[in-house]
Structure 1
Amino acid sequence: MTASPADVVQTPDLCGAYPRLDEHQIAELSRHGERRSVSPGDILHREGEQLREFIVILQGKVAVVEGYGAKERTIAVHGTGRFLGELGLLTGQAGFVTAVVREPGEVLAVPADEIRTIVAGDPALGDLILRSYLTRRTLLIGLDAGFRIIGSRYSPDARRLCEFAARNRIPHRWIDLEEDEAADALLRELRFSPHDTPVVIWRGDQVLRNPTTAELAKTIGLLAPASSATVCDVVVVGAGPAGLAAGVYAASDGLTTVVLDAVAAGGQAGTSSRIENYLGFPTGISGAELAERAVIQAGKFGARLTVPAEASELEPREGHYGIIVEGECAVKAHAVIIATGARYRKLDVPHLEKFEGSGVYYAATPFELRMCRRSPVVVVGGGNSAGQAALYLNGNASSVRMLVRGGDVHGSMSRYLADEIDRTPGIEIMYCTEVRELLGDRTLQAVRAQNTRTGELLEIQTSALFVFIGAEPHTEWLKGTVPLDDRGFIVTGQGTSPWGTPLSLETGHMGVFAVGDVRSGSVKRVASAVGEGAMAVRLVHERFTTTGTQ
């Protein structure tokens, strides 16, 4: 099926999404691949299948389309010198589009393993490919490409699937039963009723009815936890900045490394729209892009990242440790680096659970952005996360009010962020103000807040309340296993034991380390988390020296 002009998506060459390779770069790639003649109609890679080759067009034209053979939509048309693929080629995910030859010619095909090596070893070419792939992933997300999720915004399972896709930056389209007129017709076509939702449609013909997060992840090619009798060198639990840094440094040092995360790479930092004070990125970088780059970097050294995989127990064994996931020992390792981070605290107001996911949110990602389009929003908190969320939401919401418990934000927020908020129209900071009550029926309609200085109560109309009021450590799975302080953070480098004094980031178990926000006394900054992740690997080597593990 050939797309009509109206079906073609006009996608500009944003930030180098579709660069052309020069003769020198093509010659270098030719050493690793093979040339092939192609004819109109040839499929070079298909939606839903794993991307196995990096393809450069030497002659002819290739269209990148979504819904090939059905309701086709052309995303882009590539000519001589351009290359195909997107981020999934580097991460092992399935493809979200189909590449079909439109005009006869010749292509150069390089195996995926080879291109990953090239990206790692050739800074100029590798950066060109990586930047292009990151931008293409952003374009696909913005175009609502990928699989479709049909469900009700009031359904916890529908929200779970959407949040998982958004946090992992997986292209998808959310079809809301309450708002999308086409939803009912599509369900009838699939012979489903609204009571059967949520459903996921993949590749146009594969339908998953209320899949688990693990089932959805497996379908799109994310690695699933697999039990093994082999004991690896290091398992990192948590894939925020600290965990990803530990994965990169451990794997680059030649240690067999597995990284687990319950939801998505990036942790809390992954939900940040823009990190502007991280060293080396003067124009800033989104938390999601930083995480994607780190995942690729860890993968090129051989680290295995598994998402979703929520650790439920740390089990000391003879000479090693086991990490329990879904009731089974998913990974065994000689050393463990705990980087499970912290989760935002909840408001102490009645009926909070009733509105969570249908008006109350703890992250500001594209998923939440869709839920408050052109509506007034309220952000609770006065730290960096609250400030970044306010700026991110401001471009989409009709207005943004920040409710801050104290009388100033300069003591809790970076200066550059506070100054930018002051300069931004549409954001109002209400100091000495706390939420007392949430109002609404099925969804949030307003919040009742109080000025703690004057005692005045005010009602603020809003359908979206974003809460960033400090964090609680994610250590429930560790209680009774490692020492925790009175707030639940992991204590490191203290006390004595039969095997001596713990190293600076080591817990009460020999060879078990804690890094980042989950650690008692840590500095809550991305840079310090990355530094602790790297430092923990150095301490792992030191511990292995004393135990004779290596």
Structure 2
Amino acid sequence: MSDPVQETPDRYGAYPRLSAEQIDALASRGQRHTTDIGETLFHEGDPSYDFYVILSGAVALIEGYGTPAEREISVHGPGRFLGELSLLAGQPALLSAVVREPGEVLNIPVDDVRALVAHDPTLGDLILRSYMIRRSLLIEMGAGIRIIGSRYSADARRLRDFAARNRLPYRWIDVEQDPTAETLLRQLGVTPQETPVVIWRGQEVLRNPSNDELARVVGLAEPSIASSDYDVVVVGAGPAGLAAGVYAASEGLSVVVLDAVAAGGQASTSSRIENYLGFPGGISGGDLAERATLQARKFGARITVPASVTALDAHDGLHLIRLADGTEIATRTVLITTGARYRKLRVPRLAEFEGTSVYYAATAAEAQLCRGDQVAVVGGGNSAGQATVFLAGHVAHAHLMIMHDDLSRDMSRYLADRITALPNVTVHTNTEVCDLEGNGRLEEVVVADMKTEHSQRIPATALFVFIGAEPCTTWLDKQIAVDHHGYVLTGSDVPADAVTDLRQGTPRRPYLLETSRLGVFAAGDVRSGSIKRVASAVGEGAMAIRFVHEHLRLRQG
């Protein structure tokens, strides 16, 4: 008689056991099913799959099942449940579930599970918390898709950034450094010149896919969002946009949230937000974005990424949103939450190194590429401070450059104190970057003292830039009034002669967060006069929906 299959030990609450009472509650919505050894409950890449509770026996979760790259991720026994965030998000399965020991399972349709998550706080919190931890573990293990390419390739960098920003588990295989890369490419019939490639479902090859193509494959993008029946279209899925999606959907409005890159906006690139209310231990920007996205979808909001908005127009009394792929969306109201993008340094050779060595975010993906190296960080605000603290835990040494002599002038005191205490961080005050040096990849940053004009070379394989931001409003093309910096004017700041109404009646004065075109609102960092903080962006996003309701009420009247 063979030994019983050993379960994978629980980690951080990723694999909890359901109580008998919880299993009974789930049983009323599902069906019992007897399992046999080798049976596959769901396959990697399945567009949708059920929620399974193991009543007896054992089930393994396997990456690349049936391929040379097969890898067992975890094994689960009685009382445990299967799946991870992809199940709740409506994305394809990242792993295959294969029966290792015969027994019985309870399978519940995913729609019923979403309803349980929404209406049973205890069970819903258990499932959601476990799924988020499992996603983090998959990212840590490098499970999921595989990206093969050169670290010097701008397209490989683009694909890695897209996966990291969207919290997609992936394994990076460097053709220059990974000894398995050549063999793997040969097995797949791919030459090094054809890289970067993405490997999906163990053997499906995507040759240098666009972000849109990758998003469709992994289930990020909504199948179809073209419609003329939305109450509100939210452009930008940062904290303000996600908050608006939550409140609009929970209050019965039909809403779609669009973003060109990833849910979470710039906040999702923060390694840790420590001053956000309700999280005394801090929370990473990625985790906050993930929670908010699930919450919005739970109430029925549609969120699609990437969806690049190119223009705001009007048609038949409705606002018209045009996307880069030709899609047009007509809507009764619009909320602009496109935020701001980081400014770039004006130094020679910046464009040359942007594809390989210059970063505008400091996440686990960037830290992995810089592990054990010396890096440079430019900026004196909280974003630069958070990046420095995070990177210090992964790199040999971090050099922080600021253009004045007081680290706490523009940075929260707690961050400045923490940076000062780090032994592997050097703060260079009154310093600006003059040049970048390297052959193919950054090797040195040339800096100068702004008082003495003395220059020096600092060894660095990566440069992280956090020097302020500029609004993402060029797509508005003068349809909406903006201030002299390009930020959207709202409320009493809108000049009286700039107010327009699609109904061609006598325009009223805009509401507090309403723009010069009635029915179009703005919230968060893109709004003129806003406070550039996550908490205020969330508040404005929620508040904007209150004014959306008021506008719709007047429109129907």
Alpha-carbon contact 1:225-1:309 (below 8 Å) kept: no
**Partner residue of 1:478?**
476
Residues in 2 aligned to 1:227 and 1:130: alpha-carbon distance in whole angstroms: 26
- TM-score of the pair, normalised by structure 1: 0.96
User: What code does the residue aligned with 1:94 have?
Assistant: P
**Partner residue of 1:87?**
85
Q: Which runs of 5+ in 1 are unaligned?
A: none
SS in 1 for 2:490: coil
Residues in 1 aligned to 2:11 and 2:98: alpha-carbon distance in whole angstroms: 22
Residues in 2 aligned to 1:517 and 1:395: alpha-carbon distance in whole angstroms: 29
Report the more deviating stretch, 367-376 or 325-334: 325-334
User: What code does the residue aligned with 2:134 have?
Assistant: R
SS in 2 for 1:15: coil
SS in 2 for 1:302: coil
Alpha-carbon contact 1:224-1:309 (below 8 Å) kept: no
**Partner residue of 1:297?**
295
How far has the Cα of 1:50 moved from its partner?
2.6
* Aligned partner of 1:47 among 44, 48, 70: 44
- Whether 1:500 aligns to 2:508 is yes
SS in 1 for 2:294: helix
How far has the Cα of 1:431 moved from its partner?
1.1
- RMSD value, Cα: 1.6
Residues in 2 aligned to 1:420 and 1:13: alpha-carbon distance in whole angstroms: 33
SS in 1 for 2:55: strand
- Whether 1:522 aligns to 2:530 is yes
Q: Which runs of 5+ in 2 are unaligned?
A: 500-505
**Partner residue of 2:277?**
279
- TM-score of the pair, normalised by structure 2: 0.95
**Partner residue of 2:503?**
none
How far has the Cα of 1:79 moved from its partner?
0.7
User: What code does the residue aligned with 1:273 have?
Assistant: S
Residues in 2 aligned to 1:402 and 1:14: alpha-carbon distance in whole angstroms: 35
How far has the Cα of 1:168 moved from its partner?
0.3
Equivalences, count: 543
Alpha-carbon contact 2:49-2:93 (below 8 Å) kept: no
**Partner residue of 1:31?**
28
**Where has structure 1 moved over 6 Å in runs of 4 or more?**
none
* Aligned partner of 2:310 among 309, 312, 334: 312
**Partner residue of 1:56?**
53
Alpha-carbon contact 1:225-1:330 (below 8 Å) kept: no
* Aligned partner of 1:538 among 543, 546, 555: 546
How far has the Cα of 1:229 moved from its partner?
4.1
How far has the Cα of 1:416 moved from its partner?
2.0
Q: Equivalent pairs: percent with the same residue?
A: 56
User: What code does the residue aligned with 2:462 have?
Assistant: A
User: What code does the residue aligned with 1:482 have?
Assistant: I
**Partner residue of 1:425?**
423
1:335-350 map, 5 Å: 335-350=333-348
User: What code does the residue aligned with 1:41 have?
Assistant: G
Q: Deviations over 1:396-425 (max 9, x none)?
A: 100111101111122211222222222332
User: What code does the residue aligned with 1:32 have?
Assistant: R
Q: Deviations over 1:338-360 (max 9, x none)?
A: 00110110001112101103111
Report the more deviating stretch, 392-401 or 148-157: 148-157
Alpha-carbon contact 2:487-2:528 (below 8 Å) kept: yes
Residues in 2 aligned to 1:158 and 1:177: alpha-carbon distance in whole angstroms: 11
- Whether 1:378 aligns to 2:386 is no
SS in 2 for 1:425: coil
User: What code does the residue aligned with 2:30 have?
Assistant: G
Residues in 1 aligned to 2:34 and 2:472: alpha-carbon distance in whole angstroms: 54
User: What code does the residue aligned with 1:429 have?
Assistant: V
**Partner residue of 1:393?**
391
How far has the Cα of 1:370 moved from its partner?
2.4
- Whether 1:331 aligns to 2:329 is yes
**Partner residue of 1:66?**
63
Residues in 2 aligned to 1:242 and 1:511: alpha-carbon distance in whole angstroms: 17
Alpha-carbon contact 2:148-2:197 (below 8 Å) kept: yes
Residues in 2 aligned to 1:12 and 1:346: alpha-carbon distance in whole angstroms: 46
SS in 1 for 2:125: helix
1:172-211 map, 5 Å: 172-211=170-209
User: What code does the residue aligned with 1:44 have?
Assistant: L
User: What code does the residue aligned with 1:411 have?
Assistant: R
Residues in 2 aligned to 1:114 and 1:159: alpha-carbon distance in whole angstroms: 39
CA distance 1:427–1:12, shift in 2 (3 Å): farther
Report the more deviating stretch, 408-417 or 28-37: 408-417
User: What code does the residue aligned with 1:271 have?
Assistant: T
User: What code does the residue aligned with 1:321 have?
Assistant: H
Alpha-carbon contact 1:344-1:468 (below 8 Å) kept: yes
How far has the Cα of 1:426 moved from its partner?
1.4
Residues in 2 aligned to 1:199 and 1:481: alpha-carbon distance in whole angstroms: 40
Alpha-carbon contact 2:188-2:203 (below 8 Å) kept: no
Alpha-carbon contact 2:8-2:75 (below 8 Å) kept: no
**Partner residue of 1:142?**
140
